């Protein structure tokens, strides 16, 4: 009885000090932010079931997690969860390369995660690998050049999470660095302790990177505007898309392109007729509870959770050093990723892709009702076929482009 009582007292004391004590690690800025309610699912956002018509391509070998898709004629190129880049043509899957180091059997954190792929004006594939950096790849010869590594600071701060890219007509690369405190295995940390993300320009001639925008809350998809005057960047944890002007009278300034999205935006791509498709990776619906909306206004609670989490992870890591074993390692990796909160497979099923015109006005949407595709990260519109990217799908899905452009 006495012991139990002392135990409770000590636990309470530790928890209270973790909550209130100033100056405890980890040292992040916990900002108070509010999201406006999401847009209603009416008008151009009225529910539909267009995405239910997508079909998986029969493949000669299994694939998992094709997050981003680049199309070249009949061929498509995508990165998979094992860090490999593959070509898919007529159902045949051919591996082109694996960036970074090969995954060994015991890997508990990803060795590579290709989150964005696009062709540059010269036909080379530019790749954003969230674990390893930005690459230029000749998909015909397999030649790989690393352009931006994870060990070279950009304006004094190391990149942690290259997420998506786009390339202008001169070959300069714009990319998102989704977080400077969290890698791909710790998305939730950026959600709680951000904003620390950046929009970066890599000058292909000088090979220098400059930060265009910082303090973005999980910048994710990147898309040059059709007139090449601005770069659009989705800001996942603020349910919006920002626009940064790279030319013209507003050069160097930023504004909001679309706000109050009914979900958390991932990649943004041209819709094939002068506007854009914004894929919402996880819904945030008007009638439903959103943990993110709530968390914004509770910075001290977020600080408490992050401190407690930090304390727990550090302690477990010390124990693992004394008793090394793989099960324990996997367990720590799971806790490090905030357990179920960081599990993309557990996010809601509802999928919405918002379509805007060139100025950010919402003109339509593609939605699912039952399946098969959900938890999407990208839509890549080709002439005849449109492909869907997702970190959780185990196949490559597509739909006839004419089925999503007829209205």
Ligand X SMILES: *[C@@H]1O[C@H](CO)[C@@H](O)[C@H](O)[C@H]1NC(C)=O
* Chain positions contacting ligand X, by CB under 6 A: 32, 34, 297, 299-300
Pick the closer one to ligand X by CB: 131 or 193: 193
- Measured in residues, the chain has a length of 407
In the complex, least distance from residue 296 CB atom to ligand X, rounded to whole angstroms: 8
Backbone angles phi and psi of 50, in degrees to 5: -55, -40
Backbone angles phi and psi of 323, in degrees to 5: -125, 70
Pick the closer one to ligand X by CB: 170 or 297: 297
Decide: helix, strand or coil at residue 197.
strand
Pick the closer one to ligand X by CB: 300 or 326: 300
In the complex, least distance from residue 300 CB atom to ligand X, rounded to whole angstroms: 6
Pick the closer one to ligand X by CB: 29 or 155: 29
Decide: helix, strand or coil at residue 59.
coil
Pick the closer one to ligand X by CB: 238 or 350: 238
| Residues 6+ positions from 73 with CB-CB distance below 8 Å | none
Pick the closer one to ligand X by CB: 298 or 328: 298
Q: Is 275 left (phi over 0), alpha (psi -120 to 50) or beta?
A: beta
In the complex, least distance from residue 25 CB atom to ligand X, rounded to whole angstroms: 21
DSSP code string of 261-325: -SEEEEEEEE-SSSSEEEEEEEE--TTS--HHHHHHT-HHHHHHHHHHHHHHHHHHHHHHHHS--
In the complex, least distance from residue 21 CB atom to ligand X, rounded to whole angstroms: 17
In the complex, least distance from residue 302 CB atom to ligand X, rounded to whole angstroms: 10
In the complex, least distance from residue 294 CB atom to ligand X, rounded to whole angstroms: 11
Pick the closer one to ligand X by CB: 198 or 303: 303
Q: Which residue matches tokens 């509870």?
A: 289
In the complex, least distance from residue 306 CB atom to ligand X, rounded to whole angstroms: 15
**Which run of H or E residues covers position 166?**
strand 162-167
Task: For residue 177, give Cα distances in angstroms to 90, 163, 203, 314.
Answer: 34, 6, 16, 26
| Residues 6+ positions from 150 with CB-CB distance below 8 Å | 131, 132, 133, 158, 159, 160
Q: Are 257 and 232 in contact (CB under 8 A)?
A: yes
In the complex, least distance from residue 293 CB atom to ligand X, rounded to whole angstroms: 12
Q: Which residue is nearest to ligand X (CB)?
A: 32
Q: Is 401 left (phi over 0), alpha (psi -120 to 50) or beta?
A: alpha
Pick the closer one to ligand X by CB: 296 or 360: 296
């Amino acid at each position: 009885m006495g012991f139990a009582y002392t135990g409770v007292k000590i636990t309470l004391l530790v928890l209270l000090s973790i909550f209130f004590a100033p100056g405890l690690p980890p040292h992040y800025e916990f900002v108070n932010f509010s999201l406006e309610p999401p847009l209603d699912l009416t008008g151009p956002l009225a529910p539909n079931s267009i995405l239910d018509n997508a079909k998986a391509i029969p493949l000669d070998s299994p694939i998992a997690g094709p997050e981003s898709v680049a199309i070249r004629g009949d061929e498509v190129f995508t990165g998979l969860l094992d860090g490999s880049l593959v070509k898919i043509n007529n159902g045949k899957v051919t591996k082109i390369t694996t960036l970074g180091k090969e995954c060994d059997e015991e890997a508990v954190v990803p060795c590579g995660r290709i989150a964005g792929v696009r062709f540059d004006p010269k036909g080379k594939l530019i790749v954003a690998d969230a674990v390893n950096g930005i690459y230029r790849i000749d998909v015909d010869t397999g030649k790989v050049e690393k352009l931006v590594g994870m060990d070279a600071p950009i304006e004094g701060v190391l990149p942690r999470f290259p997420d998506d890219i786009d390339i202008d007509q001169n070959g300069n690369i714009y990319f998102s660095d989704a977080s400077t405190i969290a890698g791909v295995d710790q998305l939730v940390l950026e959600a709680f302790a951000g904003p620390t993300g950046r929009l970066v320009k890599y000058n292909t001639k000088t090979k220098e990177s400059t930060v265009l925008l910082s303090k973005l809350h999980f910048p994710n998809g990147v898309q040059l505007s059709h007139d090449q005057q601005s770069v659009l960047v989705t800001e996942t944890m603020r349910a919006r898309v920002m626009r940064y002007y790279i030319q013209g009278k507003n050069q160097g300034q930023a504004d909001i392109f679309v706000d109050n999205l009914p979900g958390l935006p991932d990649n943004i791509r041209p819709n094939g007729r002068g506007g854009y498709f914004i894929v919402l990776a996880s819904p945030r619906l008007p009638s439903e509870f959103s943990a993110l909306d709530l968390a914004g206004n509770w910075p001290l609670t977020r600080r408490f959770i992050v401190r407690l989490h930090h304390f727990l992870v550090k302690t477990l890591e010390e124990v693992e050093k004394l008793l090394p074993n793989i099960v324990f390692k996997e367990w720590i990796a799971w806790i490090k990723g905030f357990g179920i909160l960081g599990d993309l497979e557990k996010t809601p099923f509802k999928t919405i892709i918002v379509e805007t015109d060139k100025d950010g006005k919402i003109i339509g949407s593609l939605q699912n009702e039952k399946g098969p595709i959900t938890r999407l990260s990208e839509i890549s519109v080709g002439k005849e076929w449109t492909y869907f990217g997702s970190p959780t799908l185990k196949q490559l899905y597509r739909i006839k482009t004419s089925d999503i452009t007829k209205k």
